[in-house]
Structure 1
Amino acid sequence: MQPYFWTPKTGIQERERRDRAPYTAWAQQGYLRVCDGAAIDYEQVANDMAEILADVDIQAVAFDRWRIDVLKRELDRLGLELPLVEWGQGFKDMSPALDALEAALLNGEVAHGAHPVLTWNAANAVTVKDPAGNRKLDKSRPTGRIDGIQALAMAFGVATRTEQVQTMPDEIFFV
């Protein structure tokens, strides 16, 4: 599995201080892709995705509704058609996704090459439960990010929900 992350270049040092994370070093080491400017450049993300996915058989892509319209527009502009599956962030969708991810982790089926951003995301995440015992991810502190581990859980969730999916995810994206 290979995770991909993007961040804006402007303000990267401030985010490093706030989140206590070495974003600049991660970018220099190739673990974090940097977009020029103060915001994520969805055109760059879409172009990167097209390049990364050129020889990959994508069976399903779980997505959060937040800002997906901007990325979809750029993917459409490139003619990159992906089998998108809306994935909620609440207990209903995330509890079975976490079950699938947890089972894969416990069975030694997840190898991410010690990717430092994904490892950091996992360290920042905790699970919370609703009264019925369903779980979802939450951050344990106000700094740090959990987006990569959230995307990984979503990928495992959609892989188990989608009948035509034959294998677990090889590529994980977070913007």
Structure 2
Amino acid sequence: MAAEVSPDDLPAREGPCVLGVDLGGSRSMSAAAFYWPETGRLEALGTFPATPSLADRGASDGVSDRYCQMQERGELSVMGEATVPPGPWLAQIVKHLSGITPDCIVGDRFRHAEFTEAMQAAGLARVPFIWRGFGWKDGSEDIERFRRALFDGDVKAAPSMLLRFAFSDAITLVDPAGNQKLAKARSLGRIDAAAATVLAVAQGARMKAAPIRKATALWV
């Protein structure tokens, strides 16, 4: 919540945009996070399949009408029947950018085939895709980069129920070597938006830290 600012104080959509994606299954939410590392602006959206309804999902997950409230706020949508179709969903998500093409998309390497098909269906085949794992190796680096960006004030988001509850349901597991990975605090928790956000912000931090290549003169 320390990253939340009023909508009037939200930084502009300037510079490269990183799209972090967490594809869901039949019971899971599909979530996307948009991050502009130059300004720190963060936006997030989630989508559930239509069956069961959002009201029924809220009841079974023990969160009452939370999902219905998120839908009313424009943070959560419904697509598909039993599952969210990756291709049409990704195309819809990109429309949220109002013509901006993401500089890169970051997602789970274990969903390689689904992501490839979804990007082709959404007309994003030319956008670079960066594969990340949710295990100890990639997860630990991404979590640490996300935390650093958050503590340094490099993440700014409008108040979001989706993000608030995603991060309230998220914990990190630590192995004996001190590596961390993202996990649910409770079995019915929905941390998909948190996972997408960590991916997007961590990649944005890597882009900011990358040295700028200076042009060199070519003598002929």
The structure carrying a bigger helix percent of its residues is: 1
Per the alignment, in what secondary structure is the counterpart of residue 142 of structure 1? coil
Candidates 127, 146, 149, aligned match of 2:191: 146
Question: How many angstroms apart in 2 are the aligned matches of 1:79 and 1:160?
Answer: 26
Query: Which stretches in structure 2 are left out of the alignment for 5+ residues?
Result: 1-41, 212-220
Which has more radius of gyration?
2
Candidates 88, 103, 107, aligned match of 2:133: 88
Q: Is the 8 A contact 2:58 2:67 kept in 1?
A: yes
Counterpart for residue 201 of structure 2? 156
Candidates 70, 73, 86, aligned match of 1:29: 73
Cα deviation, 1:31-80, whole Å, max 9, x if unaligned, reads: 10111422112243122133234533523221113445334323213422
Counterpart for residue 147 of structure 2? 102
Q: Which amino acid aligns with 2:69?
A: A
Counterpart for residue 169 of structure 2? 124
Counterpart for residue 57 of structure 2? 15
Question: How many angstroms apart in 2 are the aligned matches of 1:14 and 1:165?
Answer: 46
TM-score (norm 1): 0.82
Q: Which deviates more, 52-61 or 146-155?
A: 52-61
Candidates 168, 178, 184, aligned match of 1:133: 178
TM-score (norm 2): 0.67
TM-superposed deviation, 1:163: 7.3
Question: How many angstroms apart in 2 are the aligned matches of 1:23 and 1:155?
Answer: 23
Query: Which stretches in structure 1 are left out of the alignment for 5+ residues?
Result: 167-175
TM-superposed deviation, 1:132: 0.8
Per the alignment, in what secondary structure is the counterpart of residue 71 of structure 2? helix
Question: How many angstroms apart in 1 are the aligned matches of 2:169 and 2:122?
Answer: 35
Cα deviation, 1:118-139, whole Å, max 9, x if unaligned, reads: 1101000111111111111111
Q: Report the CA distance shift for 1:31/1:163 in structure 2 as closer, same or farther (over 3 A).
A: closer
Candidates 96, 101, 104, aligned match of 1:52: 96
Q: Report the CA distance shift for 1:133/1:93 in structure 2 as closer, same or farther (over 3 A).
A: same
Q: Which deviates more, 157-166 or 46-55?
A: 157-166
Quick one: percent identity of the two aligned structures? 27
Per the alignment, in what secondary structure is the counterpart of residue 95 of structure 1? helix
Q: Which amino acid aligns with 2:104?
A: A
Q: Is the 8 A contact 1:60 1:158 kept in 2?
A: no
Per the alignment, in what secondary structure is the counterpart of residue 177 of structure 2? coil
Candidates 101, 106, 111, aligned match of 1:62: 106
Per the alignment, in what secondary structure is the counterpart of residue 127 of structure 2? coil
CA RMSD for the aligned pairs?
2.3
How many equivalent pairs are there?
Answer: 166
